[in-house]
Structure formats: C-alpha cells, structure tokens
Structure 1
C-alpha cells in the first residue's frame, strides 16, 4: 500500500500543535505542583514535610489543629457575609450602569464611560489612606460593611456587562416593549437572562478577588469578630508559635477549597462568557 505524504504546511501545523500541547501540560504541571505539595503536607505528620515516603501514614490532625488554633467558623461567616454583600451590590450597580451605557444616549456618555475605564488603571492600594479616612468619618471602622463599601461599584463589571448587553439585538427590546414591558422589565426579562454566563464569570472573578484580599481588611479591622479568612490566617505566622508548615497547609487548603470547587463547577461558563464578551 502506498502512503500519502502530508503537505509541508500541514506537517508544520501538526508540529506546532504538538509543541503547544506539551507546553500546556508543562505549565499545568508547574501550576499544580505547589498545590499537590500543600496537600501532601496537610495529610501527613510534620516529620514528612520534606521527606517523601509512599507509605507515610495519613492523618487529619493538621486540619483539626488548624481549626482549633483560630475561630475559623467566625472567619468563614464574616467572609461569606462580605462576599455576598459585595456581590449583590456589584450586580445591581453594574447592571444598571451597563444597561444605561449600552442602550441609552445621553450627553457626556463617552466621557463618563472613559472615566470609568480609567479606574481600571488605578491600583486599590493607591486609595488605601483616603478610603480609611472616609471609613473613620462614617464611623464604620472595624465592620464588615467597611471592608465591602469601597468595592460595591466595579469598573470591570460595568465594562464586562456593557459588552454583553451590546450583543443583544435591539429587536428584542422592541418585542418586549410591545408586550408592555418598561425599561426595568426589559432589563430583567431580556438582558439579564441572556447575560447569565457573564454574571457567572464576573461573580467568580469578584468572589476570588475579595476572598483573597488581605491588605484592606487587615487595615480596616481590629477585632476577631470582623476579620475575614485572609486576615485570620495571619495567626499561623505568629513568631510566638513558630512556623508549622503542615498546619499552615491544612489551613490554606480549608480556606481555598470553596474557590476551587466553585471554579470546577462553573469553569465552562467562565470561559464562554469572556469569549462572548470579546475579551482575550
């Protein structure tokens, strides 16, 4: 039987696809190695932190010690309340703003939208002192509301939802208005359902950022009753107790597990939403 030789261009394309695939596997391995090492230290006794033994005994003592060393139940509660308040406020504010920029014409629209986009270039740390002074004047220092108030409006969320709303055909607006829906009805019945994957993706980004945010909660909180998980983890770095990496790994896994599970459940919507919004 005679073999058919592949054209030179096809062989070159196959080679680069193979290189790309190998590169993805290498990067994935580099990303997952620290996580696997943290899991190894968390489920084994401290003497196996730097010594690999396939038959090392498994234990949950590190998780029990980590949970007992700090009021994790309170930290989890504060974090969930903080994330929920920020996410609900961002969804409402960003949805209304994005709908206005996508479907209404008003004076200064372009300038205002450009000013909003400029906020993406401002690091939150730049506003740290001024935000703290504002919270002091409002009497909100050491409260969950103070941690979330500076983040309840998001320039990125407005931009992302505006991009999604622009893809909705205007004929759907007309059809909804013929049925008697007003502006709010059109928004809730047409735009919000069609942008559901975008809401999921933005929600994951927002939750991930505020779940891992450390500097602002560390500055604005003073008591255990208001601290989130990121600030609570600082107790394991105390010089008095020393650094116990097995317990720190267990605590870190407990705090990061909800985010990992959320991303695994919604990873398809996360990728598709950015593709639909035209963001690369």
Structure 2
C-alpha cells in the first residue's frame, strides 16, 4: 500500500484540478464543493475531441481486428506446421522484440511516404499489423495444445482451416484476450509514432490531440482544463478496466503472463 502512494499523488492532483474551477485552483483552492464539471465542458468545446475519439477508435479497433488474424495465423504456422527454416523465422520475429520502437520510426515513416500513406490512419496502423509480441504469445499458446486434437479433428474430416478456427482458436482465447488488452492500451496511449506519422488535424488521435490542447492551455496555466482534457482521454480505458478487470486478470493468468 505504501508503495502505491507515490503513484496516487498525480492521480489525486489530476482529479482535484479537473473538478475545481481553474480560477480557484490558481488561487490555491484545491477543492471545490460541490465539484464542478465546468472544466470538462470548456475542454470539450476547446478541442475537437469527437474527431480525436473517432480516429482513435478506428485506429485501435481496426488495427486490433487485423492483428488478431495475422498473429493467429503466424502463431499457428510457427507452432504446428513443420517447414524448413521455421526456427529461423521465429528468431527473426523475436528479433523485433529487442529493437527499441524509436529506432524504427524513421524507416517506417520513409516507407509510408514512398507508398503515399503518410498522414493516413491506414499508414498509422500499417507498421503494427504484424505484432512480434502477438506472434510469440499465440505460438506459445498453440504449442501448449496436445497434437492429439489435430489428429482427432483430421480423422473426423476437418481440414486445416476448420481445425484452426473451430478447434484450436477457442483453446487459445485467453492468449487472444491478453494480447487484445495489451494492444488496445498501447495504441490508445501511443504518442510518438502518431505525432511523426500524422500532420493534419483530420487524422489526429487522442494522445496527439491532447498534446496540442495542453500546449495551448499551458500558456495560461489552465491546469483545470489540462486535467479535464487528460481525464477525457483516459476515461474509456479506466471504465473498461474497472468493468472487466476480473476478465483481464484471468486472461493474463491463463495465458501464462505475469505482471
């Protein structure tokens, strides 16, 4: 409990500033009763958060949908299908996990510009379509399933596609759920790559939009507005986690991941 106190400080400050009028907060009054939503109203009107939300939802959920297909197919191939060079391919996938993401930003951006996909949501998501972390996680999940399931399904006349989607995929749902949680949180909060890959307001996501909003508000030290804007951005993740925290914990536990 004591170890959590340093992390609770910024959260308490954020909540107090968000629900206290900026003029009072700037005068040293750190609590307003009753709490007010004035800062949230002003923040919502000061920046196109609806547009930012739309872009972020399309980006994160669209990317996740594609990732679930690619990591499932790649994980299954590396775990269950024998072919020459399988281990080499797997090691190349693992190599990506050891590369700092910042190292890939410039090559990825130059590639997108050459393809004409810079400053688009498709281009923003493209570098993450094949997730090395997801491939590794699903490979481990498929490897943990006894081969007898494959043999039994084949004897019943199931082909590879039916075996995968109707027999094996339901058995790795905890791994898929764990990967989904990590992917959604990471890409919802991602800042540096969207900042580099997008330049127009029409494709800006929440993290970059919040930075622009914060930079404008800092000139007047509007900490109430900044705190309200921050809560607007992180609120969906907080609500989803509170509603489904038991499912999240079970997913990570069953997939073999430990915090």
Q: Give me the TM-score of the superposition, normalised by structure 2.
A: 0.92
Does the CA-based 8 Å contact 1:45-1:57 persist in structure 2? Answer: no
Q: Is 99-108 or 27-36 further displaced after alignment?
A: 27-36
Alignment-derived partner of residue 272 in structure 1: 250
The 2-side partners of 1:116 and 1:29 are apart by: 39
Instruction: Report the alpha carbon displacement of residue 103 of structure 1 after superposing the two structures with TM.
Output: 0.9
Using the TM superposition, name which of 61-70 and 243-252 deviates more.
Answer: 243-252
Q: Secondary structure at the match of 1:238?
A: helix
Say yes or no: does 1:31 pair with 2:16.
Answer: no
User: Whole-Å Cα distance in 1 between the matches of residues 217 and 61 of structure 2?
Assistant: 34
Change (3 A) 1:253 1:91: same
How do 1:38-77 and structure 2 match up within 5 A? 38-46=14-22, 47-48=24-25, 50-53=28-31, 56-77=33-54
Gaps of 5+ in 1: 1-24
The 1-side partners of 2:107 and 2:82 are apart by 33
Aligned to 2:241: 263
Q: Is residue 155 from structure 1 mapped to residue 132 from structure 2 by the alignment?
A: yes
Say whether residues 1:93 and 2:70 are aligned partners: yes
| Contact preservation (8 Å) 1:198, 1:269 | no
Structure 2 counterpart of 1:203: 180
For residue 69 of structure 1, report the CA deviation from its aligned partner. 0.7
Paired residue total: 255
2-side partners of 1:135 and 1:243: how far apart?
37
- Contact 2:17–2:30 at 8 Å: present in 1 too? no
* Structure 1 position 113, deviation (Å): 0.5
Counterpart of 2:163 in structure 1 is 186
* Contact 1:117 1:159 (8 Å CA) reproduced: yes
Indicate if the aligned counterparts of 1:41 and 1:249 stay in contact, CA closer than 8 A.
yes
Match of 1:247 in 2: 225
Q: Give the distance between the partners of 1:258 and 1:168, measured in 2 at CA.
A: 35
Cα distance in 1 for partners of 2:152, 2:12 equals: 53
CA deviation digits over 1:218-263, x for unaligned, max 9? 1111111100001111222127843311111111111101111222
Contact 1:204 1:262 in 2 (8 A): no
2:116 pairs, out of 127, 139, 143, with 139
Structure number with greater Rg is 1
> Higher mean Cα deviation, 71-80 or 84-93?
84-93
Alignment partners' CA distance in 2, 1:120 and 1:140: 25
- CA–CA separation in structure 2 for the residues paired with 1:173 and 1:34: 52
CA distance in 1, matches of 2:221, 2:125: 31
The residue matched to 2:39 in structure 1 has which SS? helix
C-alpha RMSD of the superposition: 1.8
Q: CA–CA distance in 2 between the matches of 1:240 and 1:90?
A: 37
Check whether the contact 1:236–1:243 (CA below 8 A) recurs between aligned residues.
no
Question: Which of 87, 91, 96 is equivalent to 1:114?
Answer: 91
